[in-house]
């Protein structure tokens, strides 16, 4: 199946200057990231704050332009942001943020907010738009009487449902969800995740789901990409990665996820804080925190390699059985 979205060795570098006479420094927010999302599937991106997952989401939507590499949507290079070609694509690609209140206009009713993209893209007449809004409210589990409410009259979970309804209004092919449930209670998180899975099954929308929570990512994703300091360090099938994570960073993340049943992996606690992206360590960027780093890790950036089980891992020890079995 042809991928809906492809990132091919995409990089995004920001140049910052602290002070008038200071030398500009480079922050490599996304570093040679290659990803694919098939129609109707979900790719989950997980990693700590500052790992580049949100920038990857913005590259996927064409909101950012890669400094190197290429982003393709339906096998065509992503047009530059703001161009007519890019604006036409926006109907097919929508973004959902963590903060629904910030994404909404407090003066408009929920129905008016959901109808907005239909009006912007001239979808249907007034009656058809009203029917579509009523359907979307049902799809996301909001009651008809909530259509005339304003954002501050709804709970956080209800607001996020309304934001999702608005994002789905134009029947996009791709939804980029950037930490969409992080601010919600755990019980509401589970409801939204289940709802997204139902919507995907019914509509065939593909999703790029970004979260720092590996448990949520596993629940919703068909493929997982683990990012560390701008790079994808492990990518593959969620069950394979959970059963036997290979990259030391993935192993630490997986070990921190609570598992039911008597057998629980020993938690791997990483030394140190996540490094500053502006002061990227040499060689493998994970080496200062890696519990199994070897001498070469300080100087040599490990290439991503595909393993026999189909996953991609960027670690010098990826094919070292003693480490994998440890």
* β strands within 119-245, DSSP E: 174-178, 206-211, 223-228, 231-236
Task: Return d(Cα 73, Cα 92) in angstroms, integer.
Answer: 10
User: Which has the closest alpha carbon to 227: 305, 296, 288, 312?
Assistant: 312
Q: How far is the CB of 306 from ligand SF4 (least distance, A)?
A: 16
Size of the site for ligand SF4 (CB under 6 A): 14
Q: How far is the CB of 246 from ligand SF4 (least distance, A)?
A: 9
User: Which has the closest alpha carbon to 12: 48, 44, 54, 59?
Assistant: 59
Q: Does 252 bind ligand SF4 (CB under 6 A)?
A: no
Task: Return d(Cα 232, Cα 85) in angstroms, integer.
Answer: 29
Of residues 297 through 326, those in contact with ligand SF4 by CB under 6 A are 297, 302, 315-317
* Cβ-based nearer residue to ligand SF4, 145 or 273: 273
User: Which has the closest alpha carbon to 180: 166, 164, 199, 158?
Assistant: 164
Task: Return d(Cα 214, Cα 90) in angstroms, integer.
Answer: 29
Q: Does 254 bind ligand SF4 (CB under 6 A)?
A: no
* Cβ-based nearer residue to ligand SF4, 140 or 284: 284
Q: Does 209 bind ligand SF4 (CB under 6 A)?
A: no
* Cβ-based nearer residue to ligand SF4, 176 or 290: 290
* Cβ-based nearer residue to ligand SF4, 168 or 285: 285
Task: Return d(Cα 177, Cα 159) in angstroms, integer.
Answer: 15
Q: Does 251 bind ligand SF4 (CB under 6 A)?
A: no
**Would you tell me which residues interact with ligand SF4 (CB under 6 A)?**
247-248, 284, 286-287, 290, 292-294, 297, 302, 315-317
């Amino acid at each position: 199946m042809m991928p809906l979205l492809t990132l091919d060795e995409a990089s995004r570098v920001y140049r910052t200057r602290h002070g008038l006479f200071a030398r500009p420094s480079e922050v490599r927010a996304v570093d040679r990231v290659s990803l694919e999302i098939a129609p109707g599937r979900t790719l989950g991106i997980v990693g700590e704050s500052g790992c580049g997952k949100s920038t990857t989401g913005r590259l996927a939507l064409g909101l950012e332009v890669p400094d190197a590499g290429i982003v393709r949507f339906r096998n065509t290079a992503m047009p530059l942001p703001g161009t007519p070609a890019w604006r036409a694509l926006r109907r097919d690609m929508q973004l959902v943020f963590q903060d629904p209140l910030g994404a909404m206009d407090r003066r408009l009713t929920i129905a008016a907010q959901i109808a907005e993209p239909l009006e912007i893209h001239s979808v249907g007449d007034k009656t058809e738009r009203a029917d579509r809004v009523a359907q979307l409210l049902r799809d996301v589990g909001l009651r008809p009487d909530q259509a005339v409410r304003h954002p501050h009259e709804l709970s956080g979970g209800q607001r996020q449902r309304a934001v999702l309804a608005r994002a789905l209004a134009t029947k996009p092919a791709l939804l980029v969800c950037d930490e969409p449930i992080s601010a919600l209670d755990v019980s509401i998180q589970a409801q939204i995740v289940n709802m997204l899975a139902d919507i995907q099954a019914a509509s065939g929308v593909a999703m790029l789901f970004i979260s720092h929570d590996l448990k949520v990512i596993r629940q919703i994703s068909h493929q997982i990409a683990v990012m560390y300091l701008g790079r994808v360090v492990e990518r593959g099938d969620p069950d394979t990665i959970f059963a036997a994570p290979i990259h030391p960073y993935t192993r630490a993340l997986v070990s921190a996820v609570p598992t039911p049943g008597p057998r629980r992996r020993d938690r791997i606690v990483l030394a140190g804080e996540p490094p500053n992206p502006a002061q990227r360590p040499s060689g493998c960027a994970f080496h200062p925190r890696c519990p199994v780093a070897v001498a070469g890790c300080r100087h040599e950036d490990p290439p991503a390699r595909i393993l026999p089980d189909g996953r991609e891992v960027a670690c010098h020890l990826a094919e070292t059985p003693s480490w994998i079995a440890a």
